Structure 1
């Protein structure tokens, strides 16, 4: 990526919140299964952008149609991914304490 003038950025947190700091995005690709589409992901798309996500057990391409609305279609074939795990907090990642040494 560096040779093309790009640099990678790694963000940790609750994926349902997206990453508003650099929004709007032309493309958002979810690499975990969604049972519903988080509103933040739709809101962070450009007017012509789309979200590609495993929705249920199918891969969906979803286009933003308004501030809080979207529509899309399922693509052929299945999509089986780990589900999005929501935290009960505010999106800040939480770490488990280290186990005690025996």
Structure 2
């Protein structure tokens, strides 16, 4: 299940953050290629059981995106507990404000 950014800064991660379900550590070219293919054009990817990876136009941008991705974790936990989310990018496109979780 992809992670859906639910707060303003999370919007830098795009509409969703893909999850690489292979929990084996990336230690060879084949697995690295598989991870890169799964990442595609996304700026971040969660590696099931092994953290996350971010990419950017510079090392600084990649580090900043990792910081944003880390801040998204508590929101993701709440989303999974509360039900269907209203992702930030969709709410902004619809001109909505307020809570990102259903009433």
Q: Which has the higher strand share?
A: 1
Q: Over alpha carbons, which structure has the higher Rg?
A: 1
> How would you bin the TM-score normalised by the shorter chain?
under 0.3
- Bigger RCO (CA 8 Å, 6+ sep): 2
Q: TM-score, normalised by structure 1?
A: 0.26
